[in-house]
Structure 1
Amino acid sequence: MTGRKALSRALDLSLWKGALTTAGSREAADAVTERAVPNEPTVRLTAVRRLYEVSTRMGAGRSLAETLQAVVDGVVTGLGFGIAVLNLRHPDGKFEVIAVAGSPEAREALLGTVSAADIFDGEFKIADEWGRLRFVPHERLPEGEVVGWVPDVPVSADPSAWHPLDALFAPLHSPDGELVGMLSVDLPEDQRRPGPIHRELLEIFATQAGLAIDKARLTDQLLAEKVRLEASETTFRLVFEGAGNGMATLAFDGPEAGRVLRVNDAFCRITGYPHDRLIGSRLLDYLTDGDAGRTRRELQELATGTGPYRFERTFRRADGQDIWLGGTAVIVAQGKDQPRILLIQIDDVTARKDAERELQHHAAHDPLTGLANRRLLQHRFEAALQRSRQRGRRGVLLFSDLNHFKQVNDRYGHEAGDNALREIADRLLTAVRHGDTVARLGGDEFVILAEEIDGTDLDALIRRVEESIGRPLAGIDVPVTASIGTAVVSPYSADLDELLRTADQAMYEAKHRDR
């Protein structure tokens, strides 16, 4: 989008202008509008049916371009707006108009235009927040010339009527929260500022659009199957049977709250449970106690808030395996005096979570032995020092290096030396007390952090460490032993580096005495 009203340039004004011109007066125009607006339940049902149909078409494209065009076409034909523009966000942050619907002239003028990354910042500073939507009313616009086309339509004095300079934006996000695009809509067909029903539907649609764009952007390929959707007057049957991500609807109100109403095949495939096992069950029962309690609290907050929310939870599969599910949830109102439902969408994000945990582990552990590294030792020391100051109890830092270990590498090679270090690391873990920290600083230097330990226990710990290291190593005929130095961890200790220097000096004095 190159200007704030660029999305409404050269709009085919037959939506409004024809009816108003034919009526010939303000009163006649209002009468046309009144006749065109059905009652609220009909609006809900019609809009939801449209949403299902649009979502089906959006998920049936085979390329990113087809998906983006399906998004804007769906807004115009399915959600009741006169025109829609989709700005795709590029990796450099700039926005490019990729798809336009509602006017061939607007498409010709706007398609391919590129805007700066901050194109929407000024608008959003004066916008109203409608959940995840941003509405910019015309009365807040700064005075001056308006850039871009403005539809030549009558301006109503009704404050709730849509003004030609009003604008409504729906940010589009990927499942991990990344902003992937901006959907701009204009000129609602009922000539009024959208109410809660259409706002909610546009939010749901924007959520679906963000997921579809993310998948198409990564794979440049969309689902091949056409999604079949159903709608009824008592519930939103939001089940995309052909969707690649799992989808389910849950009762949100009343005694059945939390029970699964519908699931699609992808949901069953991801969780490992058949349809008949999931239908009627409570989804919280498949979560850990901690996650279940957290989810209940978040759902209570969601009930009083607006818009969808994103989540990541551990889920117990049918085979007993715990997996990570990531997705979104949104409350959908079904109509007056009807219970609300919760629409959730899930994907298996276990691989990503495992990769994150592995990275965290590598960042805190020695890659050769798996022991704590200097970074994790520092973290454990700070915690131990804090507890020492709270309880007035002392601990000990043991610094040890291996005697004669260079001969192992020289005689047997470094691979054998690495195996020996792993064996010694395992022995140290069995020699220390539960809760003690064993770390490798590099080479053949090891550190043990022992909290709340007295002289007798310390002597026993040192003996176990010396004995565990001094036992013969598998396949190695070199008498490896340990020299150990200690430093006291007290409430008055300064920092880890100072204690390591103290323990290191004590270790060298012990090594000299042994010699």
Structure 2
Amino acid sequence: MGDRDAAMAAIRSVYRITGRINTGTTLAETLQLIVDAVVDGTGFAVAVVNYLHPEGEYEAIALAGSEEARATLLGTRYPAAELDAYLGRTEAWGQLRYLSHERHSDHIHSWVPEAVPGLEDVPEEERWHPLDALFAPLRAPDGELVGILGVDLPADGRRPGPLQRELLEMLAAQAGIAINNANLVEALQRERRHLAASEEAFRLAFTGAGTGMCMLGLAGATQARMTRVNPALCELLGRTEAELLELRIADLLHPDDLDMARLAFAAATTGKATQVRDYEIRCVRGDGAVIWVATTLSIVAGPPAFGILQVQDITERKAAEADLVRRASRDPLTGLANRDALAAPLAAAVRRAHSGRGTGVLLFCDLDDFKSVNDTLGHDAGDAVLVAVAQRLCALVRPGDTVARLGGDEFVVLATDLPGTDAAGLAALVDRVERAVSAPVVHDGHVLRVRVSVGAAVIDDTVLDAGAALRLADRAMYQVKGARRGRGMTDRVTAHGERSGAPGGIPLLWLAES
């Protein structure tokens, strides 16, 4: 599995698990669901939530992963100032707080696990020490601190990397919202016990909720309107209460998401029992900005039936997911597409050729003199050459073409919809690539020069798939490189796909240029 697939699988797992933490009916149950989700989804063996009571005291209410830790920590209370001072010794890791064993203090009652065995070959600075600790503040949607999540014992015995930290941050953000919702629910229950009018209790919880909420009639997805909205929803959508009550739900959605909304609404309103559905969809704010929101639609059976919609802004989360996808599909040095990202446009070019909509060309480019640059001037100079080559190749192509770095000093250029793929046209294309790459690169007072061996593969209806196209271009490149080393009579090779019945394997067209 590639980096991109692993990252997305981890994110999907965390968000699938976090869906469970909102199913608790009490604060204690919600807190236990949170620590269970952390242990299940983030790679830590132990998790504890220190809940911040309104009177300013932390209490270890929920713990997962270790019966010994449970017996040691559960029920322990800490004055807020004391635990906050302890956390002041930590190092900021984004939203997380890392306490290394060098800064450990015995002033706070804690549980110390056994060292993870079998890590003798892991450098000391990468190991997770038994006295190490990692904390994540848990905050309500309005930023108020509601607790501290502590984790211990990474499954691999190492200090967590960026992805594991980011996943923990995501889960902690959802946990803060779940705790806030549980507090609201319990507050509502307390109000109901003290107020004779249940409508007044609902109004207090509804209006004061940090999450956007509305009540809506069920006139169908395109005609449904909100009958009641809270201030948080007005702020989220950038519209007044009067504006929201005048608009249909469909008026607030991105046009491209209307069909999905109709299907989702129909699914949620089917049946007589109370229905709860979660969706992610795009909305258009009053200022025209497009935002992503996570919605929970609860259908309450009538008569008359009505819906309660909870809305949370997840635009930043969506941007973070997109950034993870982008980083997983890009070469970190040059910013070019990597091998995984090349697969889709290359497969599309093969399909296009097979459907008779045009041929393409794949150039496999290997730098001839790159090793000598690294060996004589170091990797900084080599990196400068690679970046310069990437920029020059990008400058040669059109917007619809693709430049990728496969690794090391290997690049490919995928050009589609060419005016022609005849020998002269290909030679001209290769010439432009060779001239661009061979231009000098100035770095740190040195003038660096490299040459490039280019193998060209014509992508026509005889090329079976993307892998075959790469192999053709790669083979052609090695023919060029071998001929140059042997001072042969050619320095260009163009490979064509094998047609049925062609003798001798893959025929090669040699352009005689010494």
TM score, norm. by length of structure 2: 0.52
Does 1:369 pair with 2:343? no
Structure 1 residues 313 and 255, CA gap change in structure 2 (3 angstroms): closer
Structure 1 residues 289 and 255, CA gap change in structure 2 (3 angstroms): closer
Amino acid aligned to 1:439: A
Aligned mates of 1:438, 1:214 — CA distance in 2: 42
Once the 2 structures are TM-superposed, how far is the Cα of residue 254 of structure 1 from its aligned partner?
Answer: 7.7
Aligned mates of 1:218, 1:412 — CA distance in 2: 57
Once the 2 structures are TM-superposed, how far is the Cα of residue 403 of structure 1 from its aligned partner?
Answer: 3.8
Larger deviation, residues 287-296 vs 301-310: 301-310
Residues 258-269 of structure 1: matches in 2 within 5 Å? Answer: 258-269=224-235
TM score, norm. by length of structure 1: 0.52
Does 1:465 pair with 2:430? no
Once the 2 structures are TM-superposed, how far is the Cα of residue 493 of structure 1 from its aligned partner?
Answer: 2.4
The equivalent residue for 1:329 is: 297
The equivalent residue for 1:446 is: 411
Does 1:484 pair with 2:449? no
Residues 380-419 of structure 1: matches in 2 within 5 Å? Answer: 380-391=345-356, 393-410=358-375, 413-419=378-384
Residue from 254, 279, 294 that aligns with 2:245: 279
Once the 2 structures are TM-superposed, how far is the Cα of residue 408 of structure 1 from its aligned partner?
Answer: 4.3
Structure 1 residues 224 and 331, CA gap change in structure 2 (3 angstroms): closer
Equivalent residues of 1:239, 1:248 under 8 A apart: no
Residue segments in structure 1 that go unaligned for 5+ positions in a row = 1-63, 72-85, 94-111, 115-211
Equivalent residues of 1:250, 1:260 under 8 A apart: yes
Structure 1 residues 219 and 257, CA gap change in structure 2 (3 angstroms): closer
- Count of residues in correspondence between the two structures: 318
Residue segments in structure 2 that go unaligned for 5+ positions in a row = 1-23, 41-61, 65-172, 492-513
Does 1:67 pair with 2:27? yes
Structure 1 residues 332 and 220, CA gap change in structure 2 (3 angstroms): closer
Aligned mates of 2:256, 2:417 — CA distance in 1: 31
Structure 1 residues 472 and 506, CA gap change in structure 2 (3 angstroms): same
Equivalent residues of 1:485, 1:510 under 8 A apart: no
Residues 22-421 of structure 1: matches in 2 within 5 Å? Answer: 67-68=27-28, 90-91=36-37, 215=176, 222=183, 226=187, 240-253=206-219, 257-305=223-271, 307-335=275-303, 338=304, 340-391=305-356, 393-410=358-375, 413-421=378-386
Which of 1 and 2 has higher RCO (CA within 8 Å, sep 6+)? 1
Once the 2 structures are TM-superposed, how far is the Cα of residue 244 of structure 1 from its aligned partner?
Answer: 2.7
SS at match of 2:406: strand
Structure 1 residues 317 and 503, CA gap change in structure 2 (3 angstroms): farther
Larger deviation, residues 256-265 vs 438-447: 256-265
Once the 2 structures are TM-superposed, how far is the Cα of residue 487 of structure 1 from its aligned partner?
Answer: 2.0
Aligned mates of 1:255, 1:447 — CA distance in 2: 48
SS at match of 1:241: helix
Larger deviation, residues 278-287 vs 252-261: 252-261
Equivalent residues of 1:400, 1:484 under 8 A apart: yes
Give deviations 1:76-107, integer Å, cap 9, x for gaps.
Answer: xxxxxxxxxx99994578xxxxxxxxxxxxxx
SS at match of 1:391: coil
Amino acid aligned to 1:297: L
Once the 2 structures are TM-superposed, how far is the Cα of residue 409 of structure 1 from its aligned partner?
Answer: 3.8
Equivalent residues of 1:313, 1:325 under 8 A apart: yes
Aligned mates of 1:263, 1:312 — CA distance in 2: 19
Structure 1 residues 247 and 503, CA gap change in structure 2 (3 angstroms): farther
Aligned mates of 2:252, 2:311 — CA distance in 1: 14
Amino acid aligned to 1:286: L
Aligned mates of 1:452, 1:354 — CA distance in 2: 33
Amino acid aligned to 2:306: I
The equivalent residue for 2:474 is: 501
Equivalent residues of 1:397, 1:447 under 8 A apart: yes
Aligned mates of 2:394, 2:178 — CA distance in 1: 48
Structure 1 residues 263 and 464, CA gap change in structure 2 (3 angstroms): farther
Aligned mates of 1:501, 1:325 — CA distance in 2: 46
Higher gyration radius (CA): 1
Once the 2 structures are TM-superposed, how far is the Cα of residue 474 of structure 1 from its aligned partner?
Answer: 4.9
Give deviations 1:286-328, integer Å, cap 9, x for gaps.
Answer: 3322112221232233333461221101223345443221121
Aligned mates of 1:448, 1:324 — CA distance in 2: 35
Aligned mates of 1:213, 1:397 — CA distance in 2: 46
Aligned mates of 2:320, 2:411 — CA distance in 1: 28
Once the 2 structures are TM-superposed, how far is the Cα of residue 347 of structure 1 from its aligned partner?
Answer: 1.5
Aligned mates of 2:204, 2:271 — CA distance in 1: 21
Aligned mates of 2:213, 2:381 — CA distance in 1: 53
SS at match of 1:331: strand
Residue from 375, 382, 387 that aligns with 1:422: 387
SS at match of 2:336: coil
Once the 2 structures are TM-superposed, how far is the Cα of residue 238 of structure 1 from its aligned partner?
Answer: 9.8
Equivalent residues of 2:223, 2:250 under 8 A apart: no
The equivalent residue for 1:131 is: none
Structure 1 residues 315 and 459, CA gap change in structure 2 (3 angstroms): farther
Once the 2 structures are TM-superposed, how far is the Cα of residue 389 of structure 1 from its aligned partner?
Answer: 1.8
Equivalent residues of 2:360, 2:459 under 8 A apart: yes
Aligned mates of 1:365, 1:263 — CA distance in 2: 43
Amino acid aligned to 2:256: G
Aligned mates of 2:391, 2:249 — CA distance in 1: 42
The equivalent residue for 2:122 is: none
Once the 2 structures are TM-superposed, how far is the Cα of residue 400 of structure 1 from its aligned partner?
Answer: 0.8
Give deviations 1:206-247, integer Å, cap 9, x for gaps.
Answer: xxxxxx995477789845995689877xxx979612223221
Instruction: State the superposition RMSD in angstroms.
Output: 4.3
Equivalent residues of 2:224, 2:248 under 8 A apart: yes
Equivalent residues of 2:221, 2:262 under 8 A apart: no
